[in-house]
Amino acid sequence: MTFYQSKGYKQVYDIFISKFYDIGLKIGLTPNGENVLRTSVFKSVSPYIKKGDRILDLCCGTGTLTILLTKLLHKNCKIIGVDLSSGQIAKAQKKNRYSNLKFAIMDANDLLFPNDYFNQVVISAALHEMNKKQRLNVLSEIHRVLKKGGILLILEHHEPLKASLRILYNFYLGFIEKITSHSFEMQRNILKELNKMGFNILRQTPIKNFLNFFQIILSKK
Ligand SMILES: C[S@@+](CC[C@H](N)C(=O)[O-])C[C@H]1O[C@@H](n2cnc3c(N)ncnc32)[C@H](O)[C@@H]1O
């Protein structure tokens, strides 16, 4: 077990990160930058969403994306955000003003939902925190709870396209970020892993506003 799925990892999120998560993102990405990223998720997934759909925001953190999706989608969609950290979920619950949105503490490795339950699953900025074994396990759980034809949207880190930036970025990912995440390895393997778990890739799109530092991967069960 790595730090990321250990008790320590959850405790760091519960006790420390959850307190500063929202403000930290706003400082790191700027409020407008965060909004661009969150809105790009909505724009990519919303064409697939119909009235009455069930949508899961997996590893939802403090629920900022989940709440934005709820605000912008049909009122009679059912939206559920789940996260391993009780600290993150407590923050999300405090912000929730919608009756069609629920948050719950849950491990993405062991989802408490029946097979073929959701029409769409989104997972934002969480897969890079999981090692290969955990990632495959989580992708297999997503595949299980998605209906046939259902959509999985992944928002994740992405290597910049410009060569000079890529050298700097890979230095950062290969040495510094490697201590705290599996981003480097995730970025190189995610498409193969999605295929292996039975998803069909619809598209992989870098988000231009951030020098392509983020990407959206849309796939279908
Ligand atoms: C960087 S945060 C991203 C949060 C949110 N999706 C967002 O876009 O702001 C990663 C989140 O993944 C959650 N997480 C990591 N492993 C998990 C697991 N096995 N099950 C559920 N949540 C998990 C963490 O608790 C954390 O809140």
Cα torsion through 6, 9, 15, 19, rounded to 10: -150
The pLDDT of 165-181, averaged and rounded, is: 73
pLDDT the model gives residue 204: 97
How far is the centre of ligand 1, averaged over its atoms, from the C-alpha of 178 (Å)?
Answer: 17
Angle (deg, nearest 10), helices 18-29 and 31-45: 90
2-52: pLDDT as tens digits: 555 566 778 888 888 999 999 998 988 899 989 999 999 999 999 999 999
Q: Find out whether 109 and 80 touch, Cβ atoms under 8 Å.
A: no
Q: If pLDDT is split at 50, 70 and 90, which confidence band does 91 have?
A: very high
The set of protein residues with a Cβ atom below 6 angstroms from ligand 1 is 13, 59-61, 64-65, 83-85, 88, 107-109, 124-126, 129
Pocket test residue of 35, 59, 127, 132 for ligand 1, highest count of atoms within 8 A of CB? 59
pLDDT the model gives residue 149: 98
What percent of the chain has pLDDT above 90? 71
User: Which residue's CA lies nearest to atom 14 of ligand 1?
Assistant: 59
How far is the centre of ligand 1, averaged over its atoms, from the C-alpha of 44 (Å)?
Answer: 20
Ligand 1: nearest atom to the Cα of 88:
27
Select, from the ranges 7-21, 148-162, 163-177, the one with the highest average predicted confidence (pLDDT).
148-162
The pLDDT of 69-83, averaged and rounded, is: 95
| Domain over 3-220 is classified CATH 3.40.50.150 | yes
**Measured between alpha carbons, how far is 33 from 200 in angstroms, rounded to an integer?**
30
pLDDT the model gives residue 118: 98
Pocket test residue of 83, 88, 156, 216 for ligand 1, highest count of atoms within 8 A of CB? 83
Strand partners, 217: 154, 204
Burial class (CB within 10 angstroms; exposed 0-12, middle 13-18, buried 19+) of 173: buried
Ligand 1: nearest atom to the Cα of 107:
20
pLDDT the model gives residue 74: 84
What percent of the chain has pLDDT above 70? 93
Answer whether residue 73 shows pLDDT above 90.
yes
Residue with the bigger pLDDT between 193 and 27: it is 193
Pocket test residue of 6, 84, 141, 142 for ligand 1, highest count of atoms within 8 A of CB? 84
110-151: pLDDT as tens digits: 999 999 999 999 999 999 989 999 999 999 999 999 999 999
